[in-house]
Amino acid sequence: MASAVAAGSGYVLAGLYPADVDENLHVLGALLVFALGNAALLAAALGRSPLLRELRTVSAVLGLLGLAGTVLFLSRVDAGIGVGGMERVAVFPLFAWVTTAGLRLLGFRRSRPLS
């Protein structure tokens, strides 16, 4: 949980300080997302709560995709989508997971009786 919060802080930091404004703070924020955000996804794949068990495969796939994107981005491999595109592959899995988990939670709440 703490790693997901730190990754969220990284998104905020990278957004508040674009690379052309303060490259050091932008890189710090990006590294928080790269390392802690994708680690949080892999940790979620091992979670034991009902929601995390349902999202185990999605969590693992997105976490591995994010880590692969991180390694390729830091290695400056563009894989045909440019280095900036590879950066997106490294940071978007956490967005995708949060969206998936949120939609699943909405469906879970609606499927339960309101007693």
Phi, psi (deg, nearest 5) at residue 46: -100, 0
Task: State the pTM of this model.
Answer: 0.79
Q: What local confidence, expressed as pLDDT, does residue 112 receive? A: 56
Q: And the tokens for 45?
A: 């794949």
Written as tens digits, the pLDDT of the chain (115 aa) is: 788 888 889 989 999 999 899 999 999 999 999 999 999 999 989 988 887 888 899 999 999 999 999 999 989 988 889 888 988 999 999 999 999 988 988 886 555 554 4
